[in-house]
Amino acid sequence: MKNIDAKSHVRGESIYLDDIPLLQGTLFACVFDSPVAHGLLKSLDLSDAKKSDGVVRIITAQDLPGKNQIGGIVPDEPLLADGHVHFQGMPIALVVAESEEAARVAAQKIKAQIEPLEIITDPRVAFEKNELIIPPKRFQLGNTTAAFEVCAHIFQGRADVNGQEHLYIETQGAYAIPVEAGGLKIYSSTQGPTAVQRATAGVTGLPMHQIEVDVTRLGGGFGGKEDQANTWAALCAVATQLTGRPVKYSLHRLEDMRMTGKRNPYSADYKIGLDKNGKILAYEVVFYQNAGAAADLSPAILERTLFHCTNAYFIPNVAATAYSCRTNLPPNTAFRGFGGPQGMFVMESAIAHAAEKLQVDAAEIQRKNLLQPGDEFPYGQRAESEAENAWVQADLHFHFEKIRRDAQSFNRQHHYQKRGVAMMPICFGISFTNTSMNQARALVHVYTDGSVAVSTGAVEMGQGVNTKILQVAARAFSIPPEKVKVHSTNTLRIANTSPSAASATADLNGKATLMACETILDRLKKVAAEELQSQNVEDISFENGFVQHKNQQTNLDWATLVQTAHRKRVSLSEHAHYATPGVHFDWDTAKGHPFAYHVYGVAAVQVTVDCLRGIYEVDFVKTVHDFGKSMNTAVDYGQIEGGIVQGIGWMTMEEVVYDAEGRLRSNALSKYKIPDIYSVPKVLDIVPLETARENLAIFSSKAVGEPPLMYGIGAYFAIRDAVRAFNREVSPAFDAPFATEKVLMNLYAKK
């Protein structure tokens, strides 16, 4: 089945925030944000701005009717600066005017007097000064100290991995409308409608039931709108409350890049110990997460870094420590993988380091240490591992040995072009690591014409979740997909949603949808049994829009049955709640069973580096990927392709640069390079892993949103391999991204 949005996307008819027709009297907002990264706000001169054409109101922290606080996990984030600025781009005041242009012109006329304070941008410096967002988190398995005693080889090093700009095509934004009795309706480009509702309730002082949040779809979120959509919605809401008029704010790309947080950069120290056969016996790692100026989601991201710190490997002795470090950058946030990729990069760096020193192929070490079924993760859960299975099948399909040999022979024949190869196994846990978030609701209405309306907490952001939800309802009722409509995500229809995140949206909301459909179906079966004068409800089933009796088609069709049920006063609506069974975690012991299941896979990545210029091409990414049993291969292959390219971008070209003043230098698309059509792997092979195991995914179709991004990590190590094929003397630092300039320096570096 096609993505249900395909047609309207291509025709430009899909509705995003900026396509919503504006109500008469709508005002437009623009933020005046801090020009410095850290300081005391001594005074604010609004006089020129107030006189500026079209300005209706300028709002500062003192004007907020409710609390000046939007921190989700830790209450450490004011909506508007109050006496103190913590990062460049921190909102200080909100200008509300008759037009977008007028608001932006006026915002530039605001003058702030800020007494500078020391600026920290490096998480290790923040750590030295004890600037921690939360107390450190630790995972431990076995005893690393004892294990290192018996290791034949021990290697220690440092790995650094940079952030990543989300660059969703649709920038952040919101549109707030006053409704009667002091309530608000908010259209928001958010992954978390309830998060927006909660944050807005806080700053307006309204109860949540006075605030309706509605989301049709996003032009991409990638984690950047899990929490950070709250700011703009909350600002519009306050402006609406204070002016009594609808207020819209749709960020300029430059505002978005400057003011919003990105993927968390990390710096890490690792120590890896192996026996003489290449088995990893012990792994110690310390992560310094660059959280930025407020907690945002960083504490949860930090957790997932620990959960994935040994990637797809079993290591019997692990000690992992993670520090969330407060710096004067915009608060960093969720980004596809949610800290997992950063943890995996360090693991792969440690393996590459060991392989280099032992003069073996990294793939040998990777292969020997893959998780086996029953192996224990450092957090206590046992693996239903497909890691070995994926590796074996990938080797069968893609012939690792031949890939390696061909690259070597190419390298012998070419002096100024070198090929590099890397294997990248992945293992990604599916579920929110915060157990309580693993719940969802669905509301299903069957109308008397037999058409079906579904609402869930799922937010469509391009990942195809609405298509999957529609498939669930159509399949459950055995009716054609055209009979089902999935409606906007709305907090009045579906309350207390978890954000659409953690790749679990289709699982959670799809299961709730299935439950609601099944309840309605049970009622309809009773009605059908009565109509067909059948004694046994068990004999009733549905197929192709008709009722079946003892597997024989009857002439009772779906629409007639629905009408009959309605006439008999049987409810045709259901609101269902799903909570993932069996997940739990205890941070006191740092053990539990946090994930419903894991997604596995292996990719073979090859690059060719132009050793005169330091540029490179990705020749191929060939992957065997664990879909479980995909319910929509078009959508799922799209997620894999997009994820891989986004991962390659993060690892090889996207350079987020802040200077020592905490100013974003890569603040425009002319200075921040993202993958384009030429950076896409020339060959991208996806082979589904054949597995028979039962899983907790919707229709056994495993989550696919985030895991493929991590195949992109292979591109880093493939480039490193190629650089070393050209320059045997160099041992490039583990410092992602491996952008062309860095490649060139390493190609010609001396020992």
- Cite the active site residues: 706
Chain centroid to Cα 444, Å, comes to 27
Q: Minimal distance in Å, beta carbon 512 to ligand MTE?
A: 14
Residue 542: what residue type?
F
Residue 201 binds which one of ligand HPA, ligand MTE, ligand MOS, none, with CB within 5 to 8 A depending on kind? Answer: none
Taking a C-beta distance cutoff of 8 angstroms, is the pair 300, 289 a contact?
no
- Check binding of 465 to ligand MTE (CB under 6 A): yes
486-515 residues in contact with ligand HPA (CB under 6 A) are 501-502
Tell me whether residue 175 is exposed, middle or buried, using C-beta atoms within 10 angstroms of its C-beta: 0 to 12, 13 to 18, 19 or more: buried
Stretch that binds ligand MOS, among 173-181, 316-324, 335-343, 616-624 (CB under 6 A): 335-343
Smaller CB distance to ligand MTE: residue 465 or 486? 465
Residue in 303, 262, 344, 340 with CA at minimum distance from that of residue 135: 303
Establish if 433 lies at the interface with ligand HPA (CB under 6 A).
yes
- DSSP-assigned letters across all residues of 537-553: GGGEEEETTEEEETTEE
Residue 229 makes contact with ligand MTE by CB under 6 A: no
Q: Minimal CA–CA distance to 601: which of 431, 423, 737, 401? A: 423
Task: Give residue for tokens 């030429």.
Answer: 678
Partner in contact with 462, chosen from ligand HPA, ligand MTE, ligand MOS, none, beta carbon below 5 to 8 Å by kind:
ligand MTE
Q: Indicate whether 226 belongs to the interface with ligand MOS (CB under 6 A).
A: yes
Instruction: Give the interface segment with ligand HPA, choosing from 1-9, 16-24, 203-211, 433-441 (CB under 6 A).
Output: 433-441
Q: Binding ligand MOS by CB under 6 A: which of 266, 323, 335, 672?
A: 335
Residues 6 or more apart from 571 whose CB is under 8 A from it?
Answer: 520, 523
Q: Is 336 in the site for ligand MOS (CB under 6 A)?
A: yes
Q: Which does 433 bind (CB under 5 to 8 A by kind): ligand MTE, ligand MOS, ligand HPA, none?
A: ligand HPA
Binding mask 219-248 for ligand HPA (x = CB under 6 A): -------x----------------------
CA distance 176 to 185: 6
Residue 17 is given by DSSP the state: G
- φ, ψ for residue 531 (rounded to 5)? -60, -40
Neighbours of 617 (CB within 10 A): 15
Which residues have CB under 8 Å from 615's CB, separation 6+?
Answer: 609, 740, 743
Q: Could you say which of ligand HPA, ligand MTE, ligand MOS, none residue 506 binds, taking C-beta under 5 to 8 angstroms by partner kind?
A: ligand MTE
Residue 625 within binding range of ligand MTE, rule CB under 6 A: no
Asked if residues 539 and 424 have their Cβ atoms less than 8 Å apart, the reply is no
Q: Should residue 195 be labelled a site residue for ligand HPA when binding is judged by CB under 6 A?
A: no
Minimum distance from residue 460 beta carbon to ligand MTE (Å):
9
CA distance 339 to 460: 22
Stretch that binds ligand HPA, among 29-37, 428-436, 507-515, 653-661 (CB under 6 A): 428-436
Binding mask 579-608 for ligand MTE (x = CB under 6 A): ------------------------------
Residue 505 binds what, of ligand HPA, ligand MTE, ligand MOS, none (CB under 5 to 8 Å, by partner type)? ligand MTE
Where does this chain touch ligand MOS (CB under 6 A) — which range of 307-315, 329-337, 392-400, 519-527? 329-337
Among 432, 620, 627, 711, binds ligand HPA (CB under 6 A): 432
Q: Of these, 268, 334, 576, 704, which contacts ligand HPA (CB under 6 A)? A: 334
Which residues have C-beta within 8 Å of that of residue 606, sequence separation ≥ 6? 403, 407, 419, 420, 421, 618, 619, 620, 718
What binding mask, one character per residue, do residues 165-204 give for ligand MOS by CB under 6 A, x or -?
Answer: --------------------------x-------------
Q: In sequence order, which residues have a C-beta less than 8 Å from that of residue 402 and are 6 or more positions away?
A: none
Q: CB–CB of 270/156 below 8 Å? A: yes
Residues 556-585 that bind ligand HPA (CB under 6 A): none
Q: Does 300 bind ligand HPA (CB under 6 A)?
A: yes
Cβ-proximal residues to 149 (8 Å cutoff; 6+ apart), any chain: none
Interacting residue with ligand MTE among 302, 501, 621, 710 (CB under 6 A): 501
Give the residue carrying structure tokens 């132009």: 610
Q: Which is nearer to ligand MOS, 501 or 747 (CB)?
A: 501
Pick from ligand HPA, ligand MOS, ligand MTE, none: which does 305 bind, CB < 5 to 8 A by kind?
Answer: none
Q: What angle do CA 108, 111, 113 make, to 5 degrees?
A: 145
Q: Which of 714, 649, 639, 737 is nearest to 403 (CA)?
A: 714
The answer to the question of residue 502 lying near ligand MOS (CB under 6 A) is yes
Among 155, 323, 338, 672, binds ligand MOS (CB under 6 A): 338
304 binds, among ligand MTE, ligand HPA, ligand MOS, none (CB under 5 to 8 A by kind): ligand HPA
Between CA 619 and CA 737 the distance in angstroms is: 18
**DSSP per-residue codes, 657-683:** -B-TTS-BSS-STTTS----GGGS-SE
Residue carrying structure tokens 């709305």: 490
Tell whether residue 340 is a contact of ligand MOS (CB under 6 A).
Answer: no
The distance of closest approach from Cβ of residue 482 to ligand MTE in the complex, given in angstroms and rounded to an integer, is: 23
Q: Which of these, 317, 347, 269, lies nearest to 144 by C-alpha position?
A: 317
What's the CA gap between 140 and 377, in Å, rounded? 10
- Compare residues 264 and 608 and give the one whose CB is closer to ligand MOS: 264
Here's the x/- map for ligand MTE, 192-221, by CB under 6 A: it reads as: ----------------------------xx
The strand pairing partners of 187, in sequence order, are: 175, 214
Structure token pair of residue 491: 């907090």
Q: Is 639 in the site for ligand MTE (CB under 6 A)?
A: yes
Contact of 274 with 257, CB cutoff 8 Å:
no
Task: Out of 170, 227, 706, 721, name the contact with ligand MTE by CB under 6 A.
Answer: 706
Within 482-501, which residues bind ligand MOS (CB under 6 A)? Answer: 501
From the list 56-64, 432-440, 489-497, 611-619, the region that binds ligand HPA by CB under 6 A is 432-440
345 Cβ contact list (under 8 Å, min separation 6): 159, 161, 651, 713, 716, 734, 736
Kindly state the tokens that stand for 192.
Answer: 């978390």
How many residues belong to the site for ligand MOS (CB under 6 A)? 10
Least distance CB 71 / ligand HPA (angstroms): 14
Please report, as ranges, the residues that interact with ligand HPA according to CB under 6 A. Answer: 226, 297, 300, 304, 334, 338, 432-434, 437, 501-502
Please report, as ranges, the residues that interact with ligand MTE according to CB under 6 A. Answer: 220-223, 336, 461-463, 465, 500-506, 639, 642, 703, 705-706
Please report, as ranges, the residues that interact with ligand MOS according to CB under 6 A. Answer: 191, 223, 226, 334-336, 338, 501-502, 706
